[in-house]
A and B are shown apart, each in its own frame.
Chain A
């Protein structure tokens, strides 16, 4: 079973995406900010990280800057409505595998993308 870390601060989105992915065979851990995400990745090996950018404490980009020792095979996908070119470029510089706009990636569309990687 593929393990997913969903880094998302909004409770409704947390529930919708995590429930949907779990219904389709993924194991999902949910954290609400970059600081907790950094602690989580130290103790658990994930296959996917779904990363929102606008987060309290440590935002998504700061998480990527600090999370340098990554497991082989890990795929990091940004899942955010933040659509600024500078941020988009910075995210790819920091090693993300895809940048998905939330408004254009409903749970079923996200599942399709994850299945392609899997």
Chain B
């Protein structure tokens, strides 16, 4: 069974850091809320009782209890429901919305204009920075301002309080402006935090890239060293052939890594298709090359028929795409199981299918297979490459106005590529 790994987030210091992970952001938000929606009201209640203001004390106490109930529910939801990014994003937004509602009710209940709870609005504004969305931060600030104004107006009208215009004007302008300034500061801190995290991820990724590119070189070095040693002892023809094959394979590995890296870095999504390419011949070349590289020529089954069809393509790029897909078929299946490559001519299109009988893909692999830096790992084959093969293959196929499907149910995987013939 193949497991999934996201190379871009790989960090090998032993501390499993959730870089910009929504789950960890949400957990931090819940921790923060235990403080301001639960602890702070109880502290306010206690100080109110101590100073003899039992009416406020009771109000704050009930606010605190409500905070405990709501936060406990959020905490349980976070732990019980499976991790899905849209759920955590929504849960965080709901929590901030709830806190604004609480702050508004608390402002009204504890005296509107005279409320000591106005400062509490600052906390959900700053906490909304954890969601890492500028829009949500400014929206929270605007909603805080509006909530405060509504709480004050409601207190004045419902409780028939008489206030001078000058008394009400300053706070109704001052606090909303303060909230917007807080949002601006939060946004700036958010950007600094994202930048620091991105730099760390970039640094980790560069180390990993260096490792994966050095890998074929290390292997080549080790093979050459071994050849040196065995030549003194006497190198058998069989061993000699094996070492030469391994050297060719590592060389090809390196070329593939570099090609994929360059293609992935290329922002353009179009190809300059200017050559007439014999697709069956190209498929045959690549298939045999991959089979030899994996020492599995006997497992290769080609059904190209008598088709001699040419298509208009960028043959170098198409070669890279097909190589990635066919190489994957060999890599993720065992020796002795067939890799079948089929070509069909359907009037305006050519349909290529590549089938392996390996372990197939689990749910996670299917979700991430076309993402950059996503690799499948296997205990017996190690972590190879940069997780760019299928991403690059799909990009190139689409750039040729083609379609690529991957089907994997249970065991084995089938890749179907449909290419337009074009005018030759």
Question: Could you say which of B108-116, B203-211, B354-362 contacts chain A?
Answer: B203-211
A62 contacts which chain B residues (CB < 8 A)?
14
Cα A81 to Cα B208 with chains together (Å): 9
* Residue numbers in A under 8 Å from B382 (CB-CB): 9-11, 32, 55-56
Q: Decide: A81 near B222, CB < 8 A? Known: A11-B382, A56-B377, A61-B12.
A: no
Q: How many angstroms from the CA of A83 to the CA of B207 in the assembled complex?
A: 6
Whether the pair B383, A9 counts as a contact (CB closer than 8 A) is: yes
A64 to B14, CA, bound (A): 9
Whether A61 contacts B14 by the Cβ 8 Å rule is yes
What is the CB-to-nearest-CB distance from B387 to chain A, in angstroms, rounded to a whole number? 13
Asked if A12 and B13 sit within 8 Å, CB to CB, the answer is no
Residues on A with beta carbons closer than 8 Å to the beta carbon of B24: none
Q: Judge whether B210 and A81 touch: CB under 8 Å.
A: yes
Is A4 part of the binding interface, using a Cβ–Cβ cutoff of 8 Å? no
Chain A residues closer than 8 Å to B383, beta-carbon distance: 9, 54-56
Query: Which of A43-51, A68-76, A84-92 lies at the interface with chain B?
Result: A84-92
Size bin of chain B's contact surface: 20 to 34
Chain A residues with CB under 8 A of B207: 82-84, 87
- CB <8 Å contact, A102 and B218: yes
Within the complex, which residue of B14, B223, B379 is in contact with A57, where a contact is CB–CB below 8 Å? B379
In the bound complex, residues from chain B placing their C-beta under 8 Å from that of A12 are 219, 222-223, 246, 250
User: A13 contacts B229, CB within 8 Å?
Assistant: no
A16–B223 touching, CB < 8 Å:
yes
In the assembled complex, A6 has its CB within 8 A of some CB on chain B: no
CA of A68 to CA of B224, assembled, Å? 37
The 0/1 profile, CB within 8 Å of A marked 1, for residues 218-231 of chain B is 11011111101100
Q: CB of A1 within 8 A of chain B? A: no
Check A13 against B14 for contact (C-beta < 8 Å). no
Q: Is there an interface contact between B12 and A87, defined as CB atoms closer than 8 Å? A: yes
Q: Is the CB of B12 within 8 A of A82?
A: yes
Inter-subunit contact B211/A82 (CB<8 Å): yes
B84 located at the interface, meaning its Cβ lies under 8 Å from any Cβ of chain A in the complex: no
How far, in whole Å, are A58 and B222 apart by their CA atoms in the complex? 25
Residues of B contacting A: mostly: helix
Chain A stretch 78-118: residues in CB contact (< 8 A) with chain B: 80-84, 86-87, 90, 94, 102-103, 106-109
- Please state if B384 and A103 are interface contacts (CB–CB under 8 Å): no
What is the CA–CA distance of A48 and B22 in the complex, to the nearest angstrom? Answer: 42
Fill in one digit per residue for B369-382: 1 if any A CB lies within 8 Å of its CB, else 0. Answer: 00000000111111
Closest B residue to A35 by beta carbon equals B379
Q: Does B3 contact A (CB under 8 A)?
A: yes
Q: Are A9 and B379 closer than 8 Å at their CB atoms? A: yes
Query: Once the chains bind, are B13 and A81 in contact (CB under 8 Å)?
Result: no
Return chain B residues, CB-CB under 8 Å to A54. Answer: 12, 208, 211, 383
In the complex, the answer to whether B214 meets A81 with C-beta atoms within 8 Å is yes
Residue of B nearest to A60 (CB): B12
Q: What residues of B have a CB within 8 angstroms of the CB of A20 in the complex?
A: 226, 229
Contact, CB under 8 Å: B210 / A107: no
Q: Are A65 and B14 in contact (CB under 8 A)?
A: yes
Task: Tell yes or no: A27 within 8 A of B by CB.
Answer: no
Which residue of the partner chain B has the closest CB to A20? B226
Which 8 pairs between the two chains have the least Cβ-Cβ distance? A9-B382, A106-B225, A84-B207, A61-B14, A56-B377, A81-B214, A10-B382, A102-B218
A residues bordering B, Cβ < 8 Å? Answer: 9-13, 16-17, 19-20, 23, 32-33, 36, 53-57, 59-62, 64-65, 80-84, 86-87, 90, 94, 102-103, 106-109
Supplied contacts A16-B223, A16-B226, 16 more A-B pairs, CB within 8 Å: A9-B383, A10-B219, A12-B219, A55-B382, A55-B383, A56-B5, A56-B383, A57-B3, A61-B13, A64-B14, A82-B208, A82-B211, A90-B14, A102-B222, A103-B214, A103-B217
8 A-B pairs whose Cβ atoms sit less than 8 Å apart in the complex: A36-B379, A56-B3, A81-B211, A84-B204, A87-B12, A90-B14, A102-B214, A109-B225
